[in-house]
Structure 1
Amino acid sequence: MDSNFSYTFPALKGMQANKEYYVVMCPLRIIPKIFLFDEEEIPPEHRAQRILNKSRIPEMTNYIVENQKDYVFSSITASIDGEIEFLPFDKNPASQDLGQLRVSLDSRFLINDGQHRRAAIEEALKISPELGNETISVVFFHDVGLKHSQQIFSDLNRHAVNTTSSIGILYDYRDRLAMITKDIITSIPLLSRYTDKERVSLSKNSPKILALNHIFNANLKLLGKTKGDEITPEEETFLKEFWLLLCESIVEWNMVLKKELSPRDLRANYILGHGVFVEAIGMLGNYLKNYHEDDWKEYIKKLSEIDWSRSNTEDWLDRSFNQNGRIQKTSSTILLTSNRIKQLLDLPLTSAETQLENKFFNGGASK
């Protein structure tokens, strides 16, 4: 192969299923040039499974641009349809898999995994061209005619397991609210002991009573924020005071802490161990923060007087759980649960909340 008419990459050769593959370091500036995203040139059977979710691109682009000192991207996996040649640096058996990969200029490259990373890199380079000299690892498979690319895509994704939102929050050290949420959990004994930091929903036999993502989502509602928003010191103080008082005020939670009630029995017999309750409380807290700045704590204390049991169908049926007794957490049921808590605390409903109540009683919400 003529080196003047080829791409040349430093590469490491490997073997899977008796077939060679190559790991190369590719400068970011090259990524948009060799991995063209032209749907007309991609066969429909491949194209259909590679439609970009364009809403993801700005977030990923901002991640790169705003974290240029510590962003991390995993490898792109791609297929090469064209002539390739691997040239070892030397013939020493210990290093014969280290060398150069030459790929003819007329080759086609098809991304099997990483098209969103590729699109984000292209956008990030428009904003910060200096990123062009940085590299990303690319795993290349030789696939003449791209006949096996669809299978590669299927195999890569069949065994992929997405992390839960709780794990994402647990490992997030950039988002301020994630940091505050973890600090709150650590500082309050009940939350520290009974918060599941990995799962987003708890099994009936779980020894925990809350999930990390539910507390995080409740905090978003408490502040009326979206993920990534700035948090003021005053808002941080409010969150910490709110959760401390809430944990003191929920009688059944304290029964669990004192070993007088098991987490299993709590979830089976009360709405208190479910996300719909926690996030509804977040909405209540936001209302109190905005309209009862001076006496919000008195209302939180009154939560101890409410009957949270599932047998209390008058208050919670078709709001927190359905006719089959199954807890249901949707935006509508969270609102309906929050509405009922406000009513039980003699707090007025907003016009939007009143409309939802009217729809609920007319059989149009959560029924």
Structure 2
Amino acid sequence: MADTFHYVFPAIRGIQAGREYYVSMCPLRLIPRIFLFDEEELTAELRAQRTLNKARVPEMARYMTDHRDSYVFSAITASVDADLVFEPEGGQEQNLGTLRIPMTGTFIINDGQHRRAAIEMALRQRPEMGHETIAVVFFSDIGLARSQQMFADLNRYAIRPSTSISILYDHRDDAAELTRRLVAEALPFRDLVETERNNLSLRSRRLFTFSAIYHATNALLSECEPEDMDAALTVARAFWETVASHLPEWEQVRRGRIASSEVRQDLIHSHGVVLHAFGKVGATLLREDPDGWRERLTVLAEIDWSRSNPVWAGRAVVRGKLSKATQNVTLTANYIKQQLGLALSAEDRRVEDSLHRNLHDAA
């Protein structure tokens, strides 16, 4: 018996691998109704997609509701266990028309289950968003035999963008804007910052990554509250230019006198863990010695920044490699603080004591 009731969508027909698929705009209010996602009701075969990470959903919903005028969600891709009927406008060769989907069909999301859950949560808070739309790509998949392979194929070549470029392109984050201006205006960073990648290749002429400067500057300003962006930029620029004045290799790389790869290979002071440590030390200096912090940084020129220096073992260097882990940033900052005559906090001391215990046990 033919199905009597259908969902009806205006749609565009396309072809991939010889099979028709359809793209439509679906009102947000319909998304939770037609795309059910109850893992307990799905058989193991249909749970080919990843398990829903419920911790991500509130953050995504807040993104929608907090940025009503600028949020962006990409299309949801779904398989439908039913015969889809496409009625072209003006003739069978036309690809613009109406898509009819039997209400008895089962919808399985191949890509976009977190978007679907976030939409449902956002609509509870802002039901007026229900009239807005999201693109949906429909595939007919009788028996849903291809749903697992579709999920695998859709995610096979998906690569998460680097932290550096994600921050660079984030115009809602004031700290990202500050870092963009800092990189453009502060002499130590000019022409030496990799903005697209989290790591520098051996052939790269850059000395720093954008993400490393971002995290380090956030740490620097974490304990002070400049009045505005310009004030924050003034503080950050003054700090990094003072640090650079005691690390001559940075300027030598900028002037092309030595290769950046040589500095990165032999010394540690341009790497993310040390930059972050500089930021933490700077925050303490700005708080405890707001008038004399510049003079105290002269000690940086006396520190042996060689990767081979045994003092960095277990601090910045772990099993021969630099580590950006939180405890390694703290341990690196601890050593710099001690050289500058700064007292360690209770948390700093706890991490420091743990290092000494580990070194003693290893011995």
Q: Which moved more, 1:34-43 or 1:71-80?
A: 34-43
2:270 to 251, 268, 273: 273
Matched residue, 1:52 = 52
8 Å Cα contact 1:222-1:286 kept in structure 2: yes
- What is the CA distance between 1:61 and its match in structure 2? 1.2
- What is the CA distance between 1:145 and its match in structure 2? 1.3
Alignment of 1:190-269 (within 5 A): 190-224=188-222, 232-233=227-228, 234-269=231-266
1:152 and 1:366, CA in 2 relative to 1: closer, same or farther beyond 3 A?
farther
1:232 and 1:332, CA in 2 relative to 1: closer, same or farther beyond 3 A?
same
**C-alpha separation in 2, matches of 1:167 and 1:268:** 24
8 Å Cα contact 2:297-2:340 kept in structure 1: no
8 Å Cα contact 1:77-1:140 kept in structure 2: yes
SS at match of 2:12: strand
Please say if 1:340 is aligned against 2:335.
yes
**Count of aligned pairs between the two proteins:** 359
Alignment of 1:306-317 (within 5 A): 306-313=303-310, 315-317=311-313
Matched residue, 1:322 = 318
1:124 to 122, 125, 131: 122
1:126 and 1:236, CA in 2 relative to 1: closer, same or farther beyond 3 A?
farther
Aligned amino acid, residue 54 of structure 1: K
- What is the CA distance between 1:239 and its match in structure 2? 2.3
Aligned amino acid, residue 82 of structure 1: A
SS at match of 2:179: helix
**C-alpha separation in 2, matches of 1:353 and 1:48:** 45
Gaps of 5+ in 1: none
Please say if 1:352 is aligned against 2:350.
no
Matched residue, 1:291 = 288
Please say if 1:152 is aligned against 2:150.
yes
SS at match of 1:137: strand
8 Å Cα contact 1:214-1:275 kept in structure 2: yes
8 Å Cα contact 2:188-2:240 kept in structure 1: no
**C-alpha separation in 1, matches of 2:346 and 2:117:** 43
**C-alpha separation in 2, matches of 1:329 and 1:365:** 23
1:83 and 1:231, CA in 2 relative to 1: closer, same or farther beyond 3 A?
farther
- What is the CA distance between 1:171 and its match in structure 2? 0.8
> Cα deviations across residues 336-365 of structure 1 (Å, max 9, x unaligned)?
111111111121111221222222112169
Matched residue, 1:70 = 70
- What is the CA distance between 1:139 and its match in structure 2? 0.7
Q: CA RMSD, aligned part only?
A: 2.2
**C-alpha separation in 2, matches of 1:214 and 1:164:** 12
TM-score by length of 1: 0.92
Gaps of 5+ in 2: none
Matched residue, 2:99 = 101
SS at match of 1:49: coil
1:136 and 1:328, CA in 2 relative to 1: closer, same or farther beyond 3 A?
same
1:23 and 1:53, CA in 2 relative to 1: closer, same or farther beyond 3 A?
same
> Cα deviations across residues 111-162 of structure 1 (Å, max 9, x unaligned)?
1111111111111111211111111101111111111101000001011111
1:364 and 1:332, CA in 2 relative to 1: closer, same or farther beyond 3 A?
farther
SS at match of 1:193: coil
8 Å Cα contact 1:26-1:138 kept in structure 2: yes
Aligned amino acid, residue 335 of structure 2: R
**C-alpha separation in 1, matches of 2:307 and 2:57:** 43
**C-alpha separation in 2, matches of 1:92 and 1:355:** 74
Identity %: 43
Runs of 4+ that moved beyond 4 A: 1-4, 364-367
1:365 and 1:130, CA in 2 relative to 1: closer, same or farther beyond 3 A?
farther
